[in-house]
Amino acid sequence: MAKKTISGVTVDVNEEGYFTNPAQWNKEMAVEIAKEEGIHLTEKHVAILVFLRERFAKGEALTIRSVGNSGLVDIKGFYGLFPGAPMKKAAKIAGIPKPASCI
Protein backbone atom coordinates (compact mmCIF):
# COMPACT_ATOMS: atom_id res chain seq x y z
CA MET A 1 0.00 0.00 0.00
CA ALA A 2 1.28 3.43 -0.91
CA LYS A 3 1.34 6.56 1.21
CA LYS A 4 0.75 10.14 0.14
CA THR A 5 1.00 13.38 2.09
CA ILE A 6 -2.00 15.63 1.55
CA SER A 7 -2.44 18.88 3.51
CA GLY A 8 0.40 17.82 5.79
CA VAL A 9 -1.18 14.45 6.66
CA THR A 10 0.12 11.11 5.41
CA VAL A 11 -2.72 8.91 4.13
CA ASP A 12 -3.01 5.43 2.66
CA VAL A 13 -3.71 5.32 -1.07
CA ASN A 14 -3.70 2.67 -3.78
CA GLU A 15 -1.53 2.72 -6.89
CA GLU A 16 -4.00 5.08 -8.62
CA GLY A 17 -4.02 7.57 -5.73
CA TYR A 18 -7.45 6.69 -4.30
CA PHE A 19 -7.82 6.55 -0.53
CA THR A 20 -7.88 3.05 0.92
CA ASN A 21 -9.08 4.40 4.28
CA PRO A 22 -11.81 7.02 3.75
CA ALA A 23 -11.72 7.90 7.46
CA GLN A 24 -8.39 9.66 6.85
CA TRP A 25 -10.05 12.25 4.56
CA ASN A 26 -11.06 15.79 5.44
CA LYS A 27 -12.35 18.79 3.47
CA GLU A 28 -8.94 20.51 3.47
CA MET A 29 -7.55 17.46 1.68
CA ALA A 30 -10.40 17.67 -0.83
CA VAL A 31 -9.34 21.20 -1.76
CA GLU A 32 -5.75 20.08 -2.36
CA ILE A 33 -6.74 16.97 -4.35
CA ALA A 34 -9.14 19.04 -6.44
CA LYS A 35 -6.35 21.48 -7.29
CA GLU A 36 -4.25 18.53 -8.47
CA GLU A 37 -7.18 17.58 -10.73
CA GLY A 38 -7.50 21.15 -12.03
CA ILE A 39 -10.76 21.84 -10.18
CA HIS A 40 -11.63 24.77 -7.91
CA LEU A 41 -14.15 23.47 -5.36
CA THR A 42 -17.44 25.28 -4.93
CA GLU A 43 -20.32 24.58 -2.54
CA LYS A 44 -21.93 22.48 -5.30
CA HIS A 45 -18.79 20.35 -5.59
CA VAL A 46 -18.70 19.84 -1.83
CA ALA A 47 -22.38 18.85 -1.74
CA ILE A 48 -21.68 16.15 -4.33
CA LEU A 49 -18.60 14.94 -2.43
CA VAL A 50 -20.66 14.64 0.77
CA PHE A 51 -23.40 12.79 -1.16
CA LEU A 52 -20.86 10.31 -2.55
CA ARG A 53 -19.24 9.74 0.86
CA GLU A 54 -22.64 9.12 2.46
CA ARG A 55 -23.68 6.65 -0.25
CA PHE A 56 -20.31 4.90 -0.03
CA ALA A 57 -20.65 4.61 3.77
CA LYS A 58 -24.06 2.95 3.30
CA GLY A 59 -22.54 0.47 0.84
CA GLU A 60 -24.64 1.79 -2.05
CA ALA A 61 -23.48 1.68 -5.66
CA LEU A 62 -21.90 4.88 -6.92
CA THR A 63 -22.84 5.71 -10.48
CA ILE A 64 -23.16 8.79 -12.65
CA ARG A 65 -26.87 8.07 -12.85
CA SER A 66 -27.21 8.07 -9.05
CA VAL A 67 -25.58 11.51 -8.92
CA GLY A 68 -27.89 12.71 -11.69
CA ASN A 69 -30.88 11.45 -9.68
CA SER A 70 -29.63 12.98 -6.43
CA GLY A 71 -31.38 16.31 -6.92
CA LEU A 72 -28.03 18.06 -6.49
CA VAL A 73 -27.07 18.27 -10.14
CA ASP A 74 -28.09 16.71 -13.44
CA ILE A 75 -25.70 14.47 -15.36
CA LYS A 76 -24.61 17.27 -17.71
CA GLY A 77 -23.90 19.48 -14.69
CA PHE A 78 -21.92 16.67 -13.05
CA TYR A 79 -19.70 16.45 -16.15
CA GLY A 80 -19.30 20.22 -16.04
CA LEU A 81 -18.19 20.19 -12.40
CA PHE A 82 -15.81 17.22 -12.80
CA PRO A 83 -14.80 17.30 -16.49
CA GLY A 84 -13.44 14.27 -18.31
CA ALA A 85 -14.14 11.47 -15.88
CA PRO A 86 -16.60 12.86 -13.35
CA MET A 87 -17.13 9.80 -11.15
CA LYS A 88 -13.43 8.95 -10.99
CA LYS A 89 -12.42 12.53 -10.18
CA ALA A 90 -15.23 13.05 -7.68
CA ALA A 91 -14.43 9.78 -5.87
CA LYS A 92 -10.75 10.66 -5.65
CA ILE A 93 -11.50 14.14 -4.31
CA ALA A 94 -14.10 12.69 -1.89
CA GLY A 95 -11.48 10.35 -0.43
CA ILE A 96 -13.28 7.14 -1.33
CA PRO A 97 -12.12 4.18 -3.42
CA LYS A 98 -12.68 4.30 -7.17
CA PRO A 99 -16.21 3.00 -7.83
CA ALA A 100 -16.52 -0.41 -9.45
CA SER A 101 -18.47 1.25 -12.27
CA CYS A 102 -15.31 3.13 -13.32
CA ILE A 103 -12.77 1.54 -15.64
Q: Per residue in 5-22, pLDDT tens? A: 999 999 999 999 999 999
Q: Residues 45-74, buried b or exposed e (16+ Cβ, 10 A)?
A: bbebbebbbebbeeeeebebebbbeeeebe
Q: Is residue 99 part of a domain?
A: no
The CA dihedral of 1, 59, 65, 74, to the nearest 10 degrees, is: -90
**Confidence at 98, pLDDT banded by 50, 70, 90:** confident
Q: Is residue 103 part of a domain?
A: no
pTM of the model as a whole: 0.92
- Based on the residue annotation, tell me whether 102 is a catalytic residue of this protein: yes
Residue 15 lies in domain: 2-94
d(C-alpha 54, C-alpha 57), whole Å: 5
Please write the tens of the pLDDT for every residue from 37-86: 999 999 999 999 999 999 999 999 899 999 999 999 999 999 999 998 99
Which of 50, 72, 85, 102 does the annotation list as catalytic? Answer: 102
| pLDDT computed for residue 103 by the predictor | 60
86: phi then psi, degrees, rounded to nearest 5: -60, -45
Domain count, the chain: 1
